[in-house]
Each structure stands twice: as C-alpha cells, then as structure tokens.
Amino acid sequence: MGVRLSGPFHMRLLTIYLHLAERPRLHEPHPRRLYHSVDARRGRIPWAAEGEKGEMFVHLRQRLDEVAARLGTRVLETPLNDISIAFSLAPFDEPPLDSPAEVKVPVAVDRVEQHVDDPSPPSTKPHKPVTFLGSMLFSRFVSGTRVVPTHVTKTVAGYAFTGYMSHVNEYVPHGAAQAVPYLTAAAAVGVTRAEVDLFAERLEKVVREFVGRGRSG
C-alpha cells in the first residue's frame, strides 16, 4: 500500500533537480542548500502552478513507464502517493552475498530509440552495488533522486531501521514477493516537460551504462 509523505521531509528525499546552467529556473538548487521545500515557496508561486505540477507528475509517470518497459523493469504501484514515483531496480541489483560474484543481468534493448547510446549486451563483470546508480546520475547533473537498496539496517539513536532510506521496514511493493531496490523521483513545482524528458533520457542511458559495464568501473 502506498504511503503519503508530508512536509519538507519528502522534498528533501524525493525531489528531482535537473541542473540546466544555461537556463536558471525557480527549482534550480543553490550549491549550499541541502533541499528545497515546495511548501516554503508557495507564498511566492501562483496557485495555478499546482495544476502544472499535477500535469508534470502524470508526464513523469508516463515517461518512466516507457523507460521501464525498454529496460525490462517496472514502475511500482503506489496509488496513495501523488508526490513521488518509484522505479524498480530489481533486475539490476547485485547478487546476494552468498551467490557467485558474476551474474548475467538481462536487459530488454529497444533498437528503435535513437537517443539511447550504446545499448550494450548484458555483462558478466563483478557488480557494483545498485546504489552506485545514484552517483552516476549525480555526475550527469541529476540530483535529488533516491536509490533505496534492500536489506540495509541502520541504527539511529538506538532505533534500528531495516530497509534504511525506505518509508517502512523492508517495503514490499504491490505484486512483489519480497523487498526490491528502487529509485524515487518527483516533479517539483516549476519543472517543465522538456526537463522531465531529459531526466528520462539520462536515467535510461545511465542504467544501460551501469549494466553494460558490469558495474566494475
């Protein structure tokens, strides 16, 4: 069941910011700012912008569905969450610690899409953790995405959190038998269709590169 997150907490974790230096925008992050909160900006933004945000959320979901279909994965169903979208990374996850270090990862390749460079075949090289995807995205000027791995436990102030960085312990999505790693993204107020499209293209390219080089370098 999807869980609604509220307040600046969800914006700190979920909001995408595409750094387009040639065109400064309202949602562009300040280099010393940890996060931006939509709530804090509402006083300076027309309420009509909320309608645009809803349209961009739908567009983001459509583009991520398309990318997921080409990569052989899916967008997780979270019907009660109209803020963020979760993109399953299960097909690209590293093997369990007790399994062989080398494993083939199948990826559906769409040879019609011209904007995707080098649709490499599956690799058998040693794997990097799936969280490395977040670093790869950041190095391509996409920040704010959150990669949530599975089976990670952290203790904070005496409280143990299983499935750390998720909103519940070991979150199991609809249609899954167990917890899966995923990436979250959201369309903030001020984002445009072109920026959503750019994010989708960069995400697909990064995932293909991540799998194609075996996460070894």
Greater model confidence, 87 or 217: 87
- Give the pLDDT band of residue 53 (cuts 50, 70, 90): low
Predicted pLDDT of residue 208:
94
**In this predicted model, what pLDDT tens digit does every residue of 121-164 receive, in sequence order?**
444 444 688 888 888 999 888 878 888 888 788 888 888 887 77
CA pseudo-torsion sign 212, 95, 10, 156: negative
**Both tokens assigned to 69:** 């279909």
pLDDT at 63 over 50: yes
Question: How deeply is 197 buried, as exposed, middle or buried, from its count of CB atoms within 10 A (0-12, 13-18, 19+)?
Answer: middle
Separation between Cα atoms, residue 150 and residue 152, nearest integer Å? 6
Separation between Cα atoms, residue 104 and residue 127, nearest integer Å? 10
For the residues 88-93, what does the mean pLDDT come to? Answer: 89
Greater model confidence, 214 or 64: 64
Position 64: which residue type? L
Predicted pLDDT of residue 129:
84
Greater model confidence, 111 or 87: 87
3-class SS at 136? helix
**Buried-state track 10-29, b at ≥16 Cβ within 10 A, e below 16:** bbebbbbbbeeeeeeeebee
Domain residue spans of the chain: 7-212
3-class SS at 28? coil
Greater model confidence, 62 or 20: 62
CATH number, span 7-212: 3.90.1150.10
